[in-house]
Amino acid sequence: MNPSELLGALAGALAGGRIRVLDLTHTLSPEFPQIALPPEFGQCLPFRLEEVSRYDERGPSWYWNNFSCGEHTGTHFDAPVHWISGRDLPNSAVDTIPVQHFIAPAVVIDCSKEAAADADYLLTVDAVKQWEGKHGRVPARAWVLMRTDWSKKHADAEAFQNYDETGQHTPGPNAEVAKFLVEERDVLGFGSEAIGTDAGQGYHQRPPYPCHYYMHGAGRYGLQCLTNLDQLPPTGTLLICPPLKIQHGSGSPLRVLALVAD
Partner 1 sequence: MTQQMARPKRKNPVLRTRLPTLPPWGRSRVALGLTAAAAIGRFELQQCADCAAIQYPPREACHVCLSARLQWKPQSGAGKLLSETVLHHSNDLFFRERLPWRLGLVQLDAGPTLMVHLLDCAPAAPARVTVDVRLDRAGQAVLLGCPETETEHMAEDRVLREMTCDPKFRKVLVTDGKTAVGQAIVKALVGAGADIVWAGHAEPWKKLPGLDGITALPQVTLVPLDLTSAKSVSELAGEVAGKVDIVINNAEVHRTYGISARRGADAARAEMDINYFGMLRLAQEFGPALKGRGADGPASAVAWVNLLSIYALSNYPPHGTYSASKAAALSLAQCLRAEMRPAGIRVVNLFPGPIDDEWNQLLPPPKIAPASLAQAIVKALRDGVEDVYPGDVAQEWLARWRENPKVLERELAAGGS
By CB under 8 A, name the binding residues for partner 1: 29-31, 33, 36, 42-43, 46, 48-51, 157-158, 160-165
> Catalytic: which of 82, 154, 212, 216?
82
Least distance to partner 1 from the beta carbon of 217, Å? 25
Active site residue 82: yes
Phi and psi at residue 228, to the nearest 5°: 65, 20
Alpha-carbon gap, residue 169 to 121, rounded angstroms: 9
Least distance to partner 1 from the beta carbon of 158, Å? 5
Taking CA atoms, 16 is separated from 5, 6, 62, 231, 260, in Å, by 16, 15, 35, 19, 13
* CA nearest neighbour of 193 among 96, 99, 100, 109: 109
Q: Which is nearer to partner 1, 162 or 224 (CB)?
A: 162
Q: Which is nearer to partner 1, 9 or 155 (CB)?
A: 155
Residue pair 158/166 in contact by the 8 Å Cβ criterion: no
**DSSP code string of 186-199:** --SEEE-SSSSSS-
Q: Which is nearer to partner 1, 162 or 237 (CB)?
A: 162
Least distance to partner 1 from the beta carbon of 15, Å? 37
* Catalytic machinery residues: 82
